[in-house]
Amino acid sequence: MPPPSHFSVLLFPAEGIKMDPAKVQAVIDWPAPKSRVELQRFLGFANFYRRFIRNFGQVAAPLTALTSVKTCFKWSVSAQGAFDLLKNRFTSAPILVTPDVSRQFVVEVDASEVGVGAILSQRSLSDDKVHPCAYFSHRLSPSERNYDVGNRELLAIRLALGEWRQWLEGATVPFVVWTDHRNLEYIRSAKRLNARQARWALFFARFEFVISYRPGSKNTKPDALSRLFSSSVASTDPEGILPEGRVVGLTVWGIERQVKQALTHTPSPRACPRNLLFVPVPTRLAVLQWAHSAKLAGHPGVRGTLASIRQRFWWPTREHDTRRFVAACSVCAQTKSGNSPPAGRLRPLPIPSRPWSHIALDFVTGLPSSAGKTVILTVVDRFSKAAHFIPLAKLPSAKETAQIIIENVFRIHGLPSDVVSDRGPQFTSQFWREFCRLIGASVSLSSGFHPQSNGQAERANQTIGRILRSLSFRNPASWSEQLPWAEYAHNSLPSSATGLSPFQSSLGYQPPLFSSQFAESSVPSAQAFVQRCERTWKRVRSALCRYRTQTVRAANKRRTKSPRYCRGQRVWLSTQNLPLKTASRKLTPRFIGPFRISRVINPVAVRLLLPRYLRRVHTVFHVSCIKPVLRAPARLPPPPHPCRGRTHLQGP
């Protein structure tokens, strides 16, 4: 038999059934309000039960009068009497009812920064209204106050279920838990729990209940119980950061002492303001290091570093020296992202002179299975912008890719002279390089993490994706059936670069949509057909040249000129696309290195000497992925002498 404290009702032969005072202790011990806010909180709790208290308005009148901002809050004997009477009504019938395990319970919980509160309720058979069965309030310990909001709300449920487990664990009907924290609705189905939540989950497994969200505006009863300890916590916890009786004194930084020692050997110039310390040349690097790299500074930019220096120090070239120092800071170079436009002017690929002499390849993956196909191989003619979209069952190997290109492209359009692709394993293999060499085609691979190099195929992928979404969005598995129509639509519509459709640019004519569109005519001679094609190709190439000029001009408005790199130069490498294994991606340095340049391929691409842990990363990078390493001078030079045309004074 459990101890009497675990029972909520006590049996007295002479008096019958009586409520255990421990179950309503939270309301019995409710302290008298000391402020208008605490009184309003109590009355908010009382308003939910006013329908069970006869003449509630008259009983609570002395308390209601104190809530007015027009009167001074002063606790009186009448207010204390009304307060005690209401507490007595809350802990007795008809408000309080005896629990019945055969009917559904309702547990209302809430947590504040100082405590948790809960109310166990049940719908009465006499009036079909929800009556309280017991109250619970718990003051949080210092460690429990460190919990986040979700864990404090979960703690309220854990303590309430533990307090009333003798009813809830044996209830025949699953009970409901009301909380104003919506995320707890999914806590019982969560797959990832911390150690504390896992322990509580084992305890919750003993009960049959459902957690339901209730807005905070309707959850004021347990909220009032959870804030009973606000005044006591406020009286014990210091309001400020420093304890009572402590004052903040002035601090003399070591850098200030160092500058003052240097000034014993070097007099301050007249141009130095009176409230600032002149910094001699030998200590300027130390001042810059303190203002920029100290923990209280946190590596700010030029403006922030200058702001710290200007508070105490001065020398003639401090602005110039600060800019050089911040630009050369290795920590800033690795951890900060640049705000300037990407480096490297647009360098377009050469314009072909005929159709299908220069092609671009790429794969579209991640598609749903459609007739056994999951991948599309995109082949684009860089001259006419014509494209073939070839459905495949999976990503092919280099040998399989070569066979597919022979059957679907070379067989129809002849052998190309250049093939552009990304750095997929199919195109970086020795087999692919040897295959292209045998057919007389050069291999052009995009630089590392720079898909713009293969922009023709990337743009065609966007177009085919848009068309397939429009044709097969109701049945995504039918995309392979719609692919021929999508290819025809792409090749029959005019290109923005040439003004002609890919059909017309490559074949010399536009296929008619209607049989009556063109009248019958005699078959033209082969020479006339070739002449017509050549005229069309010249027109297309002229349009491509004009379009390239416009594209370069527009693109370079959003780019900056790349620094001139040379072999052996050290650079920082961006980590944006590198497969680094780090504990936190957000706290990973923006750049790593420095690494040396082994070869300058062209003005916008370089090859780097990478360490072994980056052996899977291709060594060729676009200049937008790197930035040069700048070095701070070992010793800052003194300012020029006044006789050389400068007004600044000569430093020591």
Tokens 């025949």 sit at which residue? 172
Q: Rounded distance, CA 163 to CA 77, Å? A: 35
Q: Rounded distance, CA 483 to CA 491, Å? A: 12
Read off the DSSP letter of residue 316.
T
pLDDT at 645: 38
pLDDT at 641: 42
**Is it the case that residue 635 has pLDDT exceeding 70?**
no
How many C-beta atoms surround the C-beta of residue 32 within 10 A? 12
Task: Name every residue whose Cβ is closer than 8 Å to that of residue 118 and which is 6 or more positions away in sequence.
Answer: 107, 108, 109, 110, 135, 136, 137, 156, 159, 160, 163, 222, 225
**CA distances (Å), origin 636, targets 285, 287, 632, 639:** 7, 12, 9, 9
Q: Rounded distance, CA 174 to CA 100, Å? A: 13
Tokens 């006869």 sit at which residue? 54
Q: What is the mean pLDDT of the chain?
A: 78
* pLDDT, tens only, 523-556: 556 566 666 666 777 777 777 777 777 777 776 6
What separation, in Å, do the N-terminal and C-terminal C-alpha atoms of the chain show? 92
Peptide bond into 594 cis (omega under 30): yes
pLDDT at 346: 64
pLDDT band (50, 70, 90) for residue 53: low
* pLDDT, tens only, 89-116: 766 656 677 888 888 899 999 888 888 8
* 364 HSE (CA, 13 A, CB side): 27
Buried b vs exposed e over 430-467: b needs ≥16 C-beta within 10 Å?
eebeebbeeeebeebbbbbbbeebbbbbbbbbebbeeb
Paired residues of 19 in beta bridges:
9
Distance from chain centroid for Cα 590: 16
Q: Rounded distance, CA 620 to CA 608, Å? A: 7
Could you tell me if 623 and 344 are in contact, meaning their C-beta atoms sit under 8 angstroms apart?
yes
Read off the DSSP letter of residue 383.
T
How many residues can be counted in the chain? Answer: 652
* pLDDT, tens only, 135-148: 788 888 888 888 88
- Our CA dihedral for 80, 83, 84, 86, rounded to 10 degrees, sits at 160
DSSP per-residue string spanning 114-141: SEEEEEEEEE-TTT--EEEEEEEEEEPP
Sign of CA dihedral 72, 75, 81, 87: positive
Query: By C-alpha distance, which of 487, 474, 472, 479 is closest to 372?
Result: 479
Higher model confidence: residue 527 or residue 392?
A: 392
How many C-beta atoms surround the C-beta of residue 112 within 10 A? 22
Could you tell me if 278 and 315 are in contact, meaning their C-beta atoms sit under 8 angstroms apart?
yes
Distance from chain centroid for Cα 179: 28
- 3-state SS class at 395: coil
Let me know if 17 is exposed, middle or buried by CB neighbors in 10 A (0-12, 13-18, 19+): exposed
* pLDDT, tens only, 435-451: 999 989 998 887 656 66
Which region, left, alpha or beta, applies to residue 371 given φ > 0 means left and ψ of -120 to 50 means alpha?
Answer: left
Q: Rounded distance, CA 329 to CA 632, Å? A: 7
**CA distances (Å), origin 176, targets 106, 125, 159:** 5, 18, 15
**Is it the case that residue 15 has pLDDT exceeding 50?**
no
Query: By C-alpha distance, which of 139, 171, 133 is closest to 20?
Result: 133
Q: Rounded distance, CA 507 to CA 537, Å? A: 9
pLDDT at 306: 92
Could you tell me if 358 and 418 are in contact, meaning their C-beta atoms sit under 8 angstroms apart?
yes
**Is it the case that residue 516 has pLDDT exceeding 70?**
no
